[in-house]
Amino acid sequence: MRDVVENWLKELAVQRRYSDCTVNAYGCDAKDFINFLREHMGENVSPETFRNLKVSDFRSWLSRRIVRGLSARSNVRALSAVKSLFNYLAQRDLVDLKVINSVRRPKISALLPKPMEEEAILNFLNLDCFFPRDPGWITQRDKALFSLLYCCGLRIGEALNIQTKDAKAEIKILGKGKKDRVVMLLPLVLERIESYISSCPHDLSEGYLFVGLKGKKLHASLVDNRLQKLRKWYNLPDHASAHAFRHSFATHLMRRGADLRSIQELLGHESLSSTQIYTDVDDYNLLKIYRSAHPLEK
């Protein structure tokens, strides 16, 4: 099965153009399922094992994951990963999809985005420094990065994959599913990026824009670790994270009257339904926009 799984993951990455994060997550979920079957069935797992599975086997796997403390949302993704593997095998006439298609998707409650308030973000972005002991260029880097996240609503991975040579007023971003979109930088953000580049002791010209102390590409985990510490120091909400800047970007645009279709394009959402969650974040503000914009109100 190892070769089968590797070939399936290659197809997801190359032909289906799934992101590296998705491919890695699917690989972990498939490995978890196979390890469960090895223990559950008491035998080495092969396509033949998959052909003989029953709905109860999938339910046992999902139940075991719940016992381990994994959420329903995590189980939904894991089941999607396993279904993708089964589809790959079915295309090669190695399994039948009847059983797995009978497995019900776990129910999950909708999680609304948690934006930060405008004043809190602006005060945070305008601080003189974040960590007093940081070298000046690190402060400039963080200011540029956080401002960029809020300015363009980027995912943290999208921001950290930007090459220095591409850091211009308009940047082409490679998003989920390797889909391209163009984002525009406000003058203040572009100025902060240029200040960071000029202050950085490392040569950024031929590599990634955002780097760590040793000049290597900055990792998302480090960014979130720093934000976790900053939350306590500057009274930021508990949900303040790199991704919260993206939620705040979309929510604040909507509060000021931006239409869903435009926000969808700016966020890089493939489906408008993904963007519609922001309409549930602040009904009161949307009502004010409606009343101020409708001709009958005038």
pLDDT for 273 equals 67
pLDDT for 287 equals 58
Q: What is the pLDDT of residues 73-122, one digit of tens each?
A: 889 999 999 999 999 999 999 888 999 999 988 876 656 667 888 888 89
Q: Delimit the CATH 1.10.443.10 region(s) of the chain.
A: 118-292
pLDDT for 29 equals 94
176 is known as an active-site residue: yes
pLDDT(294) > 60: no
In this structure, the dihedral spanned by the alpha carbons of residues 150, 156, 160 and 161, taken in order and rounded to 10 degrees, is -110
Q: What is the pLDDT of residues 109-163, one digit of tens each?
A: 656 667 888 888 899 999 998 998 999 999 999 999 999 999 998 989 999 999 9
pLDDT(64) > 80: yes
Q: What is the pLDDT of residues 261-290, one digit of tens each?
A: 888 888 887 777 667 666 655 554 555 555
Instruction: Identify which of 7, 62, 67 has the alpha carbon closest to the alpha carbon of residue 36.
Output: 62
246 is known as an active-site residue: yes
Question: Reduced to 3 states, what is the DSSP secondary structure of residue 182?
Answer: strand
252 is known as an active-site residue: no
Distant-in-sequence, close-in-space partners of 187: CB < 8 Å, separation ≥ 6: none
Q: Delimit the CATH 1.10.150.130 region(s) of the chain.
A: 2-102
Instruction: Identify which of 224, 256, 259, 255 has the alpha carbon closest to the alpha carbon of residue 149.
Output: 224
Separation of alpha carbons 288 and 58, rounded Å = 48
Separation of alpha carbons 175 and 152, rounded Å = 13
- Tally of residues, the chain: 298
239 is known as an active-site residue: no
Q: Are 125 and 146 in contact (CB under 8 A)?
A: yes
Separation of alpha carbons 128 and 44, rounded Å = 59
Active-site annotation holder among 65, 141, 226, 246? 246
pLDDT(37) > 70: yes
Structurally, at CATH architecture level, domain 118-292 sits in: Orthogonal Bundle (1.10)
Helix (H) or strand (E) holding 181, with range, is: strand 180-184
What is the DSSP pairing of strand 170-174 with strand 180-184?
A: antiparallel
- Residue 158: CA count within 13 A, CB half-sphere: 27
Active-site annotation holder among 65, 141, 155, 247? 155
Active-site annotation holder among 64, 83, 176, 231? 176
Residue range 2-102 forms a domain whose CATH class is mainly alpha
Region of poorest pLDDT, from 62-71, 180-189, 285-294: 285-294
pTM given for the model: 0.64
Active-site annotation holder among 18, 26, 88, 278? 278
